Structure 1
């Protein structure tokens, strides 16, 4: 559920706005892999807290920004 929460946050906050529609599924798949392999501690925090605290939001924004900087559509 924590990955889905992260994806919804990314969508609602414009992280997919510059991704071509045809590449959204690819981007989501790679983001899912990134979050579960490289940001597993953050995913665990979201799971444990059951809420997006200010601290978690800050970490999530940074994680999504880092992912997007390395993602090629």
Structure 2
């Protein structure tokens, strides 16, 4: 029974790590898109003022830091 529980736990940890890595890739992609939008004159701008954008990125970073500790 313990081996079965361990296997389930191991599987859930691997899934969590995969999800963290996916979120990290998405975060990098979103940061890149936000930076491109902020610096490009001909692109569509995102309707975040700099304060909201900064707060959003900070919250994403905080969530990723929490997930990294798991």
TM normalised by structure 1 equals 0.40
Q: Which has the higher contact order (CA 8 A, sep 6+)?
A: 1
Q: Bigger radius of gyration, 1 or 2?
A: 2
TM normalised by structure 2 equals 0.41
